Chains A and B, each alone.
Chain A
Amino acid sequence: MFYAACCHSLLTMTPGAISTPISQRRKLRQRRRAPCPRSHNRMDPFEDTLRRLRETFQVGHTRSAEFRAAQLRGLGRFLQDNKQLLHDALAQDLHKSAFESELSEVAISQGEVNLALRNLRAWMKDEHVPKSLATQLDSAFIRKEPFGLVLIIAPWNYPLNLTLVPLVGALAAGNCVVLKPSEISKSIEKILAEELPRYLDQSCFAVVLGGPQETGQLLEHRFDYIFFTGSPRVGKIVMTAAAKHLTPVTLELGGKNPCYVDDNCDPQIVANRVAWFRYFNAGQTCVAPDYLLCSPEMQERLLPALQSTITRFYGDDPQSSPNLGRIINQKHFQRLRALLGCGRVAIGGQSDEHDRYIAPTVLVDVQEAEPVMQEEIFGPILPIMNVRGVDEAIEFINRREKPLALFAFSNSSQVVKRILAQTSSGGFCGNDGFMHITLASLPFGGVGASGIGRYHGKFSFDTFSHHRACLLRSPGMEKLNAIRYPPHSPRHLRKLVVAMEARDCSCTLL
């Protein structure tokens, strides 16, 4: 794996490979299969790539709006030109339906590209700020600057979206980018490695490949920003590595997203909404409702409703539905199959190893200590925990790590607002699933163990920009400064303090 990664890196390092005719590609593939030379020192396959990108950044290549817009347009063309290829790859990796691929991967990514293109100049503009009396004649503003060399590490569950949406922000902000897609979603990884670089300027963009070992090696290098999407466990590793270089990070992690269902609800509506968000992408979604909290009475009403919904969505034989995904690999399939043994299967529970298929499942009578209530499920399994009301639900939720998302269903807006007010989470949705992440005007990120930082839309641009405070003063008018210089007097001090006060205060001296 190391040799393959090493040679893959050699492949992505090839400068000027804008178009690679078939014969050349064949030669490159052959080169890839050949073993890399072993040296007595530990080989660093990334050093040359990173140096090249840094040098490009130093000369200011990525700074102009024109350049950034060209990169974003290139990204848009990549999505348009390769749409079918991408759909096929997503189907191969995760058995995603065309609908899911379009909605949650291609369209979202395209939307972010378009938003960034429309707003790029506005986002890049210096932000002028209110001044004090002392600085009235000066120019005070915040300048957005790229950090430099940015590393984006993406996961396998939405391998296009979670790679490209951060990339949009990083490019719009003027950075050079190293992209490390997940090696687990192999088909998409291949397209990102082989096709995507052709649409971008390769002097400031590279895709690097590999598994945990290569990622560890990569993280020893210094980056100016690291954007990571993945598990909390690996998030800690990334942040620890970043700390060695004082590199700022955004960590989009996960957790168990609670979904409270009040007694005052229409169970069929709740069932529709919860099921759609739970079983989307076969449950492999960081913001999916992870478990339900409701009273035993509500549970009795929900179960038939959920069964009805599942049949409506996926038919009597969900395994033959084109609209249900598959588990990414054997390891996760086995992990999920083991979870089916927790509590009691109320709906579903079937699995098929050859297909990596897990049926849309609902578990009841689960104990808090069981694995299904301990780890993030990340599969089409929905356990129901019984609580006696809102208070117990809130107390249960607050005993645990802050999740990435929290959901509350009730006809009473008071109940919804109470859950919102008395809990914390990355994001919150009342009476629906993760619809909130489709809004680029809302920041997307975690809190506590579910993450640090946020992105989407302008938040991505801001995440990948350093906001530099600037004050430009006149080289003359030195008399005005006299009151600040020693020897000091109380009179001067009084004048200075007044002059420093914010101009937009309610005092009307001037």
Chain B
Amino acid sequence: MKDEPGSTNLFTKLDSAFVRKEPFGLVLIIAPWNYPVNLNLVPLVGALAAGNCVVLKPSEISRGTEKVLAEVLPQYLDQRCFAVVLGGPEEMGQLLEHKFDYIFFTGSPRVGKIVMTAAAKHLTPVTLELGGKNPCYVDDDCDPQIVANRVAWFRYFNAGQTCVAPDYLLCSPEMQERLLPALQSTITRFYGDDPQSSPNLGRIINQKHFQRLRALLGCGRVAIGGQSDEHDRYIAPTVLVDVQEAEPVMQEEIFGPILPIMNVRGMDEAIEFINRREKPLALYAFSNSSQVVNQMLERTSSGSFGGNDGFMYMTLLSLPFGGVGHSGMGRYRGKFTFDTFSHHRACLLCPAGLENLNDIRYPPYSDRVQQLTRWALGSQSCTLL
């Protein structure tokens, strides 16, 4: 919360220059269903820390959590400056007609556009944490078992319903041959021979998404998994091969425990493939060669980047979390959240007297005065005073 001092120029040496962090006012946080506690509360922490009043709109889809947030959470906060509002798309549309001083939205790009358009009517600043298809490049120079462990953990965590999960793999056919048995071995290690009975594998949030994902199982060819159970909303940890770029599994964000593999002939082709598409929220590159990893980083763009691992960076609060392009705008976590929900007000406090010093800026002007003024303005890094 502290004022941050700014450096002064010659004109302002006797003044106090600083940036003051101020709350925006009334903040709206719209949260999704996949990490319903985390993605409600982490933005809330920043909004409260920054001194705002908050309206929280949890997802109506994750009903269990929604209930707890609506009934229990307000008991722990001062309800004059905090409220939970409930409802579906229609209620949210109504909510968005109102003026807020900041809107923080986590969800799909499609709804992100709706939120930003509504915000524009009131010139409300926004943070949009969206999504996309996060590519995961696997170089030939790799240990396939290690890669399989790491990719699988991040892919099947929360049954794949993670905005930063690796969405699809890019590797050579040769690497694919080595990866498949490694992935099978990993899946068995993690979830046992019957993943449906493992306590460590999640389920799909609702029927609509279950049906969507089950349809994706028809793309390409199932190499691992592929089972599903409608009553349980269960989809097995699945790997698809021989997929075409035009198929749905390579068009929409998967958001489920399905991992398609696309073949490329090397890093260049992978980069070209990635850059033809929307900038993703996350991008991964696996290689024993740090040069390869750095090339992937250099020649692409994404919200964030993981080399030789999945979204481990999410555990570091010193790194900003946010998207770019269609995967979002703005960032948060840790201090970045506080800054997101604060207006940074530039302040300069000048002495009320000492008016003689100001004479050189007043008309009528002379050439010498102009020179002096120009020099004084530009003196921000000089050490004369």
Contact = CB atoms under 8 A, between A and B. Distances in A.
Interface stretch (B54-62, B109-117, B173-181, B204-212): B109-117
Contacts of A442: 6, 17, 19, 346-348
Contacts of B329: 246, 248
A466 B347 contact: no
Contacts of A107: 373-374, 377-378
A379 interface: no
Given A129-B318, A243-B117, A147 B374 contact: no
B344 interface: yes
Interface in B107-166: 109, 112-113, 116-117, 119-121, 123, 125, 128, 130, 142-143, 145-146, 149-150, 153
B374 A441 contact: no
Contacts of B378: 107, 110-111, 114
Contact of A485 (B153, B353, B365, B381): B153
Nearest to A416: B349
A209 to B, nearest CB: 26
B24 A447 contact: yes
B345 A425 contact: yes
Contacts of B348: 427-430, 432, 435-436, 439, 442
A439 B6 contact: yes
A427 B20 CA distance: 9
A215 to B, nearest CB: 16
B123 A236 contact: yes
Contacts of A430: 347-350
B123 A235 contact: yes
B205 to A, nearest CB: 20
A470 B363 CA distance: 53
Given A481-B150, A486-B200, A242 B116 contact: yes
Nearest to B378: A111
Given A131-B316, A444-B346, A471 B113 contact: no
Nearest to B289: A475
Interface stretch (B31-39, B87-95, B243-251, B304-312): B304-312
B352 A431 contact: yes
Contacts of A248: 329-330
Contacts of B380: 115, 439-441
Interface stretch (A10-18, A152-160, A268-276): A268-276
A409 interface: yes
B377 A471 contact: no
Specify the main secondary structure of chain A where it touches its partner: mixed
Given A246-B325, A431-B352, A436-B347, A468 B364 contact: no
Contact of A439 (B17, B109, B315, B349): B17
Given A430-B349, A441-B7, A475-B287, A276 B362 contact: yes
B82 interface: no
Given A132-B316, A452-B123, A269 B363 contact: no
A78 B153 CA distance: 55
A36 B199 CA distance: 69
A502 B123 contact: no
Given A103-B373, A439-B12, A269 B189 contact: no
Contact of A246 (B130, B142, B312): B130
B123 A253 contact: yes
Interface residues of B, number: 101
Nearest to B354: A269
Nearest to B366: A99
A265 to B, nearest CB: 7
A452 B120 CA distance: 11
B369 interface: yes
B312 A473 contact: yes
A349 interface: no
Interface string B294-329: 000101011111111100110111111110111011
A288 B253 CA distance: 49
Contact of B349 (A314, A431, A447): A431
Contact of B316 (A266, A429, A471, A478): A471
A472 B370 contact: no
Contact of A448 (B123, B351, B374): B123
B358 interface: yes
A475 B286 contact: yes
Contacts of A273: 358
A111 B349 CA distance: 23
A449 B123 contact: yes
B41 to A, nearest CB: 16
Interface string B6-43: 11110110010101101011000000000000000000
A109 to B, nearest CB: 11
Contacts of B315: 132, 134-135, 500
Contacts of A431: 349-352
Interface string A416-434: 1100100011111111100
A97 B287 CA distance: 62
Contacts of A471: 304-307, 309, 312-313, 316, 319
A456 B315 CA distance: 32
A244 interface: yes
A478 B347 CA distance: 51
B331 interface: yes
Given A246-B325, A439-B17, A468-B301, A476 B12 contact: no
Contact of A475 (B25, B198, B308): B308
Nearest to B190: A486
A413 interface: yes
Contacts of A216: none
B165 to A, nearest CB: 15
A19 interface: no
A485 B189 contact: yes
- Top 7 nearest A-B pairs (CB, nearest first) are A239-B120, A243-B116, A441-B6, A129-B318, A471-B313, A442-B346, A472-B307
Interface of A: 58, 60, 97-99, 102-103, 107-108, 110-111, 114-115, 118, 129-132, 134-135, 138-140, 142-143, 145, 147-148, 224, 232, 235-236, 239-240, 242-244, 246, 248, 251, 253, 265-266, 268-269, 272-273, 276, 312-315, 321, 323, 409-411, 413, 416-417, 420, 424-432, 435-445, 447-449, 451-454, 466-476, 478, 481, 484-488, 500, 502
9 contacts: A142-B319, A312-B362, A426-B346, A442-B346, A448-B101, A469-B313, A470-B304, A475-B286, A486-B191
Given A147-B324, A313-B364, 15 more contacts: A129-B316, A138-B312, A244-B113, A265-B352, A266-B352, A269-B355, A431-B349, A441-B8, A442-B17, A448-B123, A467-B320, A475-B286, A481-B149, A485-B153, A487-B198
